Structure 1
Amino acid sequence: MSDDTNKDQALSADDLASVLHGLASSPGRRITSINVSGRRVWIKRFDIEPLAFAKRLHWLVSPVLFPVFLRGSKPALGEAGVERECSKMAAFQAAGFQTPDVIYRSGATLILSDVSPVLTEQLAGASEQERRELLPVLFAALGRIHGAGLVHGRPHLRDISIREGKTFFFDFEEAPETTMPLADAQARDLWLVMLPVVAAEPDADQCRLFLRAWLDIAPVAAILALRRFLGFCRPVLGLARLVPVSLQGGDLRRFLGAARFLVAAISDMDSAIAANGHRAGSQQVKS
């Protein structure tokens, strides 16, 4: 998406003054929310936070990591970060999916429309019944995205909003599909969403319902990629039994919880592979 595509959305002099005031009032902040012409917008700066050492190290060793599922995409900073985000939003919108609107972009700064509340806030204030109604919508939307040949890259719950039955995706800052096969990148999307969901939902049967909402739609290749990754996880789960719970950090506990749940749900994946493969074959015959 080039700057030319946003010239018709150029800010008025008053709006631009509000943006400049917001930036001046929050130096060093990567993301700022302000009101412009009576509406809330988000200013994202891709030239603020230096890339953390751990992320730089991950990128440097990514080419040799196995399985490929664990590789990271090349960091996009400055104008490259704006370009990546805008390009991904344009691809999602072209395929009929919801994202924030690009209001303005200039250099390493991007201004987006507001689509809050984010899913983390929605779930925090939701009843058990509401939570169990929201999450299948999310997993089904993710399945449709993958079915359209797209990848989010880093679908944390804070990067998603569900409004009036529509799922909005944003913060497209990673592109794992550039460092691994598309199917693996899509399986990685599912894995990243599962990490917080399994940690927050104690009922495994409910988690299986969420997973099935994705399995019913997801491409067979993505499900197979997920199964391959779980094959890698099996010996890790065995070794984890040797680590006392008191020594397991939050990240490790979430990893183990999601891995154990997904390994236990492999039969669901096999059923979906058979059903989705049959459906795809039937559609090819009809066409």
Structure 2
Amino acid sequence: MSAGRIERTVVSGQPGWVKRAEHVGLRLRLQKGDPRRLFETERRAYLSLQDAHLPFPKVLASGPDHFVLADAGPTVRSLLRAAGPQDPGVRAALVAAAEALARLHGAGYSHGRPNLCDICWQDGRITFIDLEKYRVTQNTRSGHIRDLLIFFFDLCAETGAVDAAVLAARDAYCRQDAQGIWAGAVQRMRLLRPVLALIGVLTRPLRHKRDFRALAPLVALFCDPR
């Protein structure tokens, strides 16, 4: 039996996850790009960030066809789906994730795609994983704004509304936002609002789908602040 792409492992007594290049067919290769190139990009990203004192996992081992990351606990998305947004533990994880993202931006770095499934929470610590989309060229104000919108899009897709958990995450980000990234996201969303409104009308029959139900609360969060 061939080894899986992502598997649990232990390195020198420390639990971790081994990741290998994905093997995909032509359709996914055209959609996602060369999996070997994406794997190597991510491996180099983790290695380059090891000494930056940022919330990324420790690389326990690395080779030409694999790397092993220290286990960082469950993802925030899994916690949210298991217990719901009103659970105090989940609320604490969302607040911590938003604060960590703001601090990451304050340090001059962008994640690239900070979905809730790419953020882990363990022992009061947030860790960002899955750096396939990390690029040094995105460590800019524009990249930070994109990160912020992706994070809250994913959160709104889970909640389907601007609820107390979403507002708590917003407030947590803003408390750490010394660069005005939130204001930049508001400006960008207001420019996009007519287009997003049209998309909302055209996709109304699909609002039960996860991503489409995020549109209305995302626009409300950034364009109609409470």
Report the TM-score range of the alignment, normalised by the length of the smaller protein.
Answer: 0.7 to 0.9
Correspondent of 1:235 among 188, 194, 205? 194
Correspondent of 1:116 among 66, 70, 73? 73
Paired residues for 1:108-147 under 5 Å:
108-126=65-83, 128-147=87-106
Displacement of 1:237 after TM fit? 3.3
More helix by share: 1
Paired residues for 1:155-166 under 5 Å:
155-166=114-125
Matched, 1:264 2:220: no
The alignment partner of 2:72 has SS state of coil
In 2 relative to 1, CA 131–80 (structure 1 residues): closer, same or farther, beyond 3 Å? closer
Q: CA RMSD in A?
A: 2.8
Matched, 1:217 2:176: yes
- The structure having more radius of gyration, on CA atoms, is 1
**Corresponding residue number in structure 2 for 1:83:** 44
Q: Is the 8 A contact 1:26 1:32 kept in 2?
A: no
Q: Is the 8 A contact 2:75 2:120 kept in 1?
A: yes
Alpha-carbon distance in 2 for matches of 1:115, 1:238: 38
Displacement of 1:105 after TM fit? 1.0
Displacement of 1:160 after TM fit? 1.4
**Corresponding residue number in structure 1 for 2:211:** 251
The alignment partner of 2:201 has SS state of coil
Q: Is the 8 A contact 2:106 2:179 kept in 1?
A: no
The alignment partner of 2:211 has SS state of helix
Displacement of 1:224 after TM fit? 3.8
Displacement of 1:163 after TM fit? 1.9
Displacement of 1:203 after TM fit? 5.0
**Corresponding residue number in structure 2 for 1:281:** none
The percentage of counterpart residues that share the same residue type is 26
Alpha-carbon distance in 1 for matches of 2:79, 2:200: 35
Matched, 1:53 2:11: no
Question: What is the TM-score normalised by the length of structure 2?
Answer: 0.81
Alpha-carbon distance in 2 for matches of 1:241, 1:114: 39
Question: What is the TM-score normalised by the length of structure 1?
Answer: 0.66
Alpha-carbon distance in 2 for matches of 1:77, 1:238: 34
The alignment partner of 1:236 has SS state of helix
Give the gaps of 5 or more residues in structure 1: 1-24, 57-74, 269-287
Q: How many residues align?
A: 219
Alpha-carbon distance in 1 for matches of 2:139, 2:205: 37
Matched, 1:199 2:176: no
Matched, 1:99 2:56: yes
Alpha-carbon distance in 1 for matches of 2:29, 2:215: 21
Alpha-carbon distance in 2 for matches of 1:197, 1:223: 16
